[in-house]
Amino acid sequence: MAASSLLRSSFISSPFQPQLQQPTSKIHPTHFTPIKATTSSPSSDQSSSATAASPPQSIKHRRPTNENIRDEARRNSSSHNFSAKYVPFNADSNSKEFYSLDEIVYRSRSGGLLDVQHDMDALKKFDGEYWRALFDSRVGKTTWPYGSGVWSKKEWVLPEIDGDDIVSAFEGNSNLFWAERYGKQFLGMNDLWVKHCGISHTGSFKDLGMTVLVSQVNRLRKMNRPVVGVGCASTGDTSAALSAYCASAGIPSIVFLPANRISMAQLVQPIANGAFVLSIDTDFDGCMQLIREVTAELPIYLANSLNSLRLEGQKTAAIEILQQFDWEVPDWVIVPGGNLGNIYAFYKGFHMCKELGLVDRMPRLVCAQAANANPLYLYYKSGWKEFKPVKANTTFASAIQIGDPVSIDRAVFALRNSNGIVEEATEEELMDAMAQADSTGMFICPHTGVALSALIKLRNSGVIGPTDRTVVVSTAHGLKFTQSKVDYHSKEIKDMACRFANPPVQVKADFGSVMDVLKKYLLSKDSKC
Ligand SMILES: Cc1ncc(COP(=O)(O)O)c(C=O)c1O
Ligand SMILES: N[C@@H](CCOP(=O)(O)O)C(=O)O
């Protein structure tokens, strides 16, 4: 059997054809009290489990056995003065238009985008050191809801939501991976990092925004607001996150998917989570148009990033990067872009940290697009003169096959205000970059391949220097996109050399044949030493 068919033979054909502790004053960290372990008295159960050898002072008592982590959070909750509201995005300073987050509204009066605006004066009552210490104290715990990387920044996300209404899978806190070998071998870089946002509950960064959106929906439903279900158009990741968080809260979810344009792993996620899945014979932009029309008519809450609530969660990935570098600012952050909400979310997270004194500057942002779906890149190249939506062509980076991004204005704002750059990657570039990264121990998605291709170009042109601290944002788990890897390593992609393919070797089941093959392999490795 040829290597390619060997790879393919293990591929099963699709059965789915068509288808605080709250802060209390401007406080210096010496006044800061990190979250305490619960002081509740231990249950008899817990005391009996303590052994004579346990050093009594080091024992942290568990909460009472009849209490869960939500109850515990309720008991420990305290009040604060933080708040947030919707305002028109990038509004004129004289604008008086605003909406409560408890209203169901996605667009400003003039039809523009909205933004969640926090009461910065209230947040500024606390200095940067205070916020850093508070956020640091919450990392990696199971304290509800602060153990989540998103809700550990609750005061900056949805300050007014009750912990009882939060729907969380303790998302965030994703690995910031030091790409030591990839950086050294392929780019001559020593400070290259990959923020693995795809190592997450549903396998993409969408979890960060969806926990916020679904939590707010949960609150609205408890307030008897007319929300019967939550819906989105999707290239596969938003739908996976939406259906998982809705399933967890018992809220109906409805997803519009472009038929035959998303990976099997992504398709099966909402199906498994019980969403109402519509496979529609159009592309993502067509699905987006339909969901916007439908949510204007039916009591279905819109979950795409047009809804600015999502970006409040996504921005925490930026804050987390700073935190993981012990509040040192990287030089560059590279983000693959499709509907373009995420690049703005990163901007917003970094900007808030600067404005509130946690850091003293912003990184430069790079947005990377697939050349087959590159409306932002073309706009950038025109000197931001004229934006034209494009018809997005098929790309292995299927989750960013988007020609008319809803957040185009947000992306331009983010890039212009961070001295940003837009790059693009051909199919061959992104697939080669993915294969090379995988060969150094990662297992990235094609969208991360797009971001790495942008990095390669900017390194080759000398824009990014060898010692620049650079973060590439990996947006989804590679396991969602195994078909693209199978195609590449089978060398079965039309007009692509697949230079870094590593197909399996077919060998007879006898000792001599196996030895021959292995000797040849070891010799080839030896000669490279
Ligand atoms: C895996 C993946 N990467 C990148 C993106 C791009 O994010 P955005 O649409 O916010 O630009 C998306 C979705 O669009 C995605 O699913
Ligand atoms: N890649 C996205 C496309 C929709 O983006 P959104 O952030 O506006 O929901 C997806 O996975 O659906």
Does residue 508 carry a pLDDT above 50? Answer: yes
In 3D, which of 332, 461, 487, 479 has the Cα closest to residue 3?
Answer: 487
- Choose one of 238, 314, 400, 410 to mutate for the ligand 1 pocket test, by most ligand atoms within 8 angstroms of C-beta: 400
Most confident of 9-13, 67-71, 401-405: 401-405
How far apart CA 394 and CA 187 sit, in angstroms, is 29
How far apart CA 280 and CA 256 sit, in angstroms, is 7
> How much of the chain, in percent, has pLDDT values that exceed 70?
89
The CA-atom distances, in angstroms, between 44 and each of 40, 41, 267 are 12, 9, 48
Give residue-wise pLDDT tens across range 39-51.
Answer: 333 233 333 333 3
In 3D, which of 449, 436, 441, 437 has the Cα closest to residue 498?
Answer: 436
Query: 237 CB under 6 A from ligand 1?
Result: yes
Closest ligand (CA of 368):
1
Structure tokens at 290: 């339909």
In this predicted model, which residue has the larger pLDDT, 344 or 15?
A: 344
Structure tokens at 412: 């331009």
Tokens 């014979």 sit at which residue?
281
Does residue 509 carry a pLDDT above 80? Answer: yes
Structure tokens at 383: 């000197």
Helical residues (DSSP H) of 140-275, grouped into ranges = 154-157, 180-182, 206-222, 237-249, 264-272
Which ligand 1 atom minimizes the distance to the CA of 206?
16
Peptide bond into 145 cis (omega under 30): yes
In this predicted model, which residue has the larger pLDDT, 36 or 141?
A: 141
In 3D, which of 371, 391, 396 has the Cα closest to residue 476?
Answer: 396
Does residue 517 carry a pLDDT above 50? Answer: yes
Query: 376 CB under 6 A from ligand 1?
Result: no
Q: 114 with 108: CB under 8 angstroms? A: yes
Pocket of ligand 2 (CB under 6 A): 232, 234-239, 304-305, 338-339, 341, 399
Give residue-wise pLDDT tens across range 202-245.
Answer: 999 999 999 999 999 999 999 999 999 999 999 999 999 999 99
Give residue-wise pLDDT tens across range 142-176.
Answer: 999 999 999 999 999 999 999 999 999 999 999 99
- Choose one of 315, 339, 395 to mutate for the ligand 2 pocket test, by most ligand atoms within 8 angstroms of C-beta: 339
Cα torsion 24, 28, 34, 39: sign: negative
**What pLDDT score does 58 carry?**
64
**What pLDDT score does 57 carry?**
59
Give residue-wise pLDDT tens across range 57-106.
Answer: 567 778 888 889 888 888 888 778 999 999 999 999 899 999 999 999 99
Average pLDDT of span 444-454: 98
Q: Where are the beta strands (DSSP E) in 426-485?
A: 470-474
Q: Predicted confidence band at 56 (pLDDT cuts at 50, 70, 90)? A: low
In 3D, which of 131, 215, 218, 108 has the Cα closest to residue 171?
Answer: 215
**What pLDDT score does 511 carry?**
98
Question: What amino acid occupies position 154?
Answer: K
Peptide bond into 21 cis (omega under 30): yes
ipTM of the complex: 0.99
Give residue-wise pLDDT tens across range 473-492.
Answer: 999 999 999 999 999 999 99
**What pLDDT score does 37 carry?**
36
Question: 3-state class of 505 per DSSP?
Answer: coil
Structure tokens at 56: 């009594």
**What pLDDT score does 334 carry?**
99
Average pLDDT of span 461-465: 98
How far apart CA 254 and CA 229 sit, in angstroms, is 7
Question: 3-state class of 367 per DSSP?
Answer: strand
Neighbour count for residue 106 (Cβ, 10 Å): 18
In 3D, which of 165, 191, 162, 168 has the Cα closest to residue 178?
Answer: 191
**What pLDDT score does 529 carry?**
59
Structure tokens at 517: 């093959």
Average pLDDT of span 407-432: 98
Cα torsion 136, 142, 145, 151: sign: positive
Query: How far is C-alpha 71 from the chain's CA centre?
Result: 29
Question: What amino acid occupies position 235?
Answer: T
**What pLDDT score does 63 carry?**
85
Does residue 363 carry a pLDDT above 70? Answer: yes
- Choose one of 197, 238, 262 to mutate for the ligand 2 pocket test, by most ligand atoms within 8 angstroms of C-beta: 238
- Based on its alpha-carbon atoms, the radius of gyration of the chain, rounded to whole angstroms, reads 24
